[in-house]
Structure 1
Amino acid sequence: MDIKRNILLNPGPATTTDTVKFAQVVPDICPREQEFGDVMEFVSKGLTEFVGSLDKYTTVIFGGSGTAAVESMLSSAVGEGYVLIINNGAYGKRMCDIANVYEMNYIEFQSSNIEAIDFEALEKVIIENKDKLTHLATIHHETTTGLLNDVSRLGALCKKYNLDLMVDAMSSYAGIPIDMEKMNISYLASSSNKCIQGMAGVSFVIANIETLVKTKENKPRNLYLNLYKQYEYFKKNYQMRFTPPVQVLYALQQAIVEAKKETIEARHERYVKSCEVLWSELQRLGLRRLVDESCHSHMITTVMYPEVENFSFDDMHDYLFERGFTLYPGKISSKDTFRIANIGEIDHKDITNAMKVLEEYLIKIGFIK
């Protein structure tokens, strides 16, 4: 059976292999069976091993989008102390929204969504509040713009002031090499449908086991998303407390197999090469990028609207969509932008083909003569 291949240039869900898609076609099974427990064990350990050792780290899995994992991480890990949240994009703001909903103690550190974090200003805030701060939360790759935060430097800062670092690595995990121990990351949240190249529907938190166990005494703020309770139940028999998305986990198992075969380092190189081709083509077409290369992820590029009177993002989207390529709108209010992602099961040839179609559209509307 042939499946039409769409090139998704949106920042997730990403383009997947046919083998990942077909992995979902399995006999019906009760998720309490040992056979499915083996799948869950493979997935949990496989996800962990990409970023840390099994003796120090564990992966806690939830059914739900990536926000479920971030919400679980924040609401479960932070007790009566304060968390310092770095807000430099829509997803940093979402962390603040979560903290507000749970009436958590938090301090918001606002930072530019297109420039690197001012570490001198950040450290000043930490010093001013060091008696009450227990955690620092940040986005690794701010999907809003393609900005990449320096998590290694944040980890060193957290070590200096004895803070637990919580990282939303939604669109960096499995796309950028991460070493949780070296980076001093206590908790890392991600999902199944971005750089790991699985299907949407599973999210997870990878946690330092020693740090996670200490949260056992925290007053629960929720039921389904309680991180320690989910971990405690899972470690006994590799089952989730509540019904898991069975088929999506089979697909994730296959995605892990394929990621191990490619290696995260090689996948990152593939993404970077695609990005280099993309940037070269954008320059050739006369389109401007928003984020400077010095703090860019090389995985999602925010592009300024072409300066032509009759430009319409929806019209451009539809033109490319009809030809097998999906673009994504921008997510910042201050400038008119759209985004092009180069994650997923695509390569530089797909980017070149997409840019040819974009060039056709820009000629059509008179931006290119």
Structure 2
Amino acid sequence: MESVKRNILLNPGPATTTDSVKYAQVVPDVCPREKEFCDLMQFVSFELTGLVAHPDAYTTVLFGGSGTAAVESVLSSVMTDGVIVIINNGAYGKRMCEIADAYQLDWIEYQSKPDQPIQLDLLESFIQGLPQKVSYLAVVHNETTTGLLNDIEAIGTICLENDIEMMVDAMSSFAAIPIDMNKMNISYLAASSNKNLQGMAGVSFVVAKNTELEKEIATKPTNYYLNLYLQYKYFIETGQMRFTPPVQTIYALKQALIELNDESIKDRYERYSLLWETLISGITRLGLKYLVPKEHHSKIITAIVEPTCKNYDFNTMHDYFYDNGITIYPGKLKDMNSFRVANIGNLTKSDIDLFLSLLEKYLQSIGIETKEENLSSILYETQED
């Protein structure tokens, strides 16, 4: 098998993939309505479910689309008949607010700092102090804006005690950070194929209890393509998606799942964590700071505080790395100047070492002495400081 040019993607997805995942897309043309492809869909759905729940009681419903499609499917299919609390502590919590607003749902925003853990007692007091009964809560597991890991199990306990169904956006935690939907009281989980699964972009999915998916919905549907219940029903009856799926991408997802099973979620997260430790050690040596305290960090993606040096420009730095086969990502916080580096995908320690070496050369090229004691006076302090 001829090797494909390898780029080091340090953006939070799509991630760097193996050649075997890339080549898995090269298959004979097949109609997705044939039994061969239905069997593939069944395999993928079953394997995805088994990563976070028991396949006898839960089902994974697949959609063609980015991860946002899965989140939108849950909000617009399920959460149409009650009050929703949406936790906003980053760009992706904010996105859920925007989706709920677009569908004119009955939603209430709970804001929390993007670089600090959610204060659970305040969240519960907020919920209990509302004049209306809350039916649903939506939260991001790993907030990709900063790398903050929200305590889903504790939030799930609050939901259980207050008779609330919880939806979790697990885009950048699924298949790395262990999740047990039953234990964590997660009613609906949304994720996609192209982050920790190390598959190709184009497939999103929702994992939910069969009993929830089989409910008879009395209200008029508010969506069409993203209707979770109709997609589930069609899959159970036919083994297919209602509409044309991204065929080749699903073949790649099958291969990615095989490779994940070979590595295991435990070992994959350990590998990612070691890469993160290498990254943090390196940027600290260079005098740079990161936003989220270590004890609350997902070790998946890191928001790094930008230098205040007048010669610094993110776009110039991005292009410098891109020319060297590495992709990094801009920050998403208006009041905290940062850029983001992910350590997911088919990466090795040498990839992170290369990034750090190039980062040091870039900083030196714009006039920054890459010694911790010389840099501290020209860098923003974190909000924690």
TM-score calculated relative to the size of structure 1: 0.98
Is it true that 1:197 corresponds to 2:202 in the alignment? no
CA deviation after TM superposition for structure 1 residue 20, in Å:
0.4
Stretches of structure 2 that go unaligned for 5 or more consecutive residues are 371-385
Report 1:1-369 matches (<5 A). 1-129=2-130, 131-214=132-215, 216-368=217-369
Post-superposition, which runs of at least 4 consecutive aligned residues in structure 1 deviate over 3 A? 215-218
CA deviation after TM superposition for structure 1 residue 130, in Å:
7.4
- Does the 8 Å contact 1:76/1:215 carry over to 2? no
What is the one-letter code of the residue matched to 1:169? A
Aligned-residue Cα RMSD (Å) equals 1.1
CA deviation after TM superposition for structure 1 residue 219, in Å:
2.7
- Tell me, in whole angstroms, the C-alpha distance in 2 between the residues paired with 1:307 and 1:217: 56
CA deviation after TM superposition for structure 1 residue 212, in Å:
2.3
- Tell me, in whole angstroms, the C-alpha distance in 2 between the residues paired with 1:214 and 1:112: 36
Partner deviation per Cα, 1:270-325 (whole Å, 9 max, x = no partner): 01000000000000111111111121111100001123220111111111111111
- Does the 8 Å contact 2:72/2:226 carry over to 1? yes
Cα distance, 1:81–1:62 mapped onto 2, change above 3 Å: same
Identity of matched residues, % = 56
Cα distance, 1:346–1:196 mapped onto 2, change above 3 Å: same
Partner deviation per Cα, 1:180-232 (whole Å, 9 max, x = no partner): 11111010000111111100001000011112223633431111100000000
- Does the 8 Å contact 2:86/2:96 carry over to 1? yes
What is the one-letter code of the residue matched to 1:115? Q
- Partner of 2:274, secondary structure, is helix
What is the one-letter code of the residue matched to 2:290? R
- Tell me, in whole angstroms, the C-alpha distance in 1 between the residues paired with 2:191 and 2:8: 22
- Tell me, in whole angstroms, the C-alpha distance in 1 between the residues paired with 2:301 and 2:162: 32
Cα distance, 1:196–1:117 mapped onto 2, change above 3 Å: same
CA deviation after TM superposition for structure 1 residue 65, in Å:
0.6
- Tell me, in whole angstroms, the C-alpha distance in 2 between the residues paired with 1:255 and 1:218: 38
- Does the 8 Å contact 2:234/2:242 carry over to 1? yes
Cα distance, 1:38–1:336 mapped onto 2, change above 3 Å: same
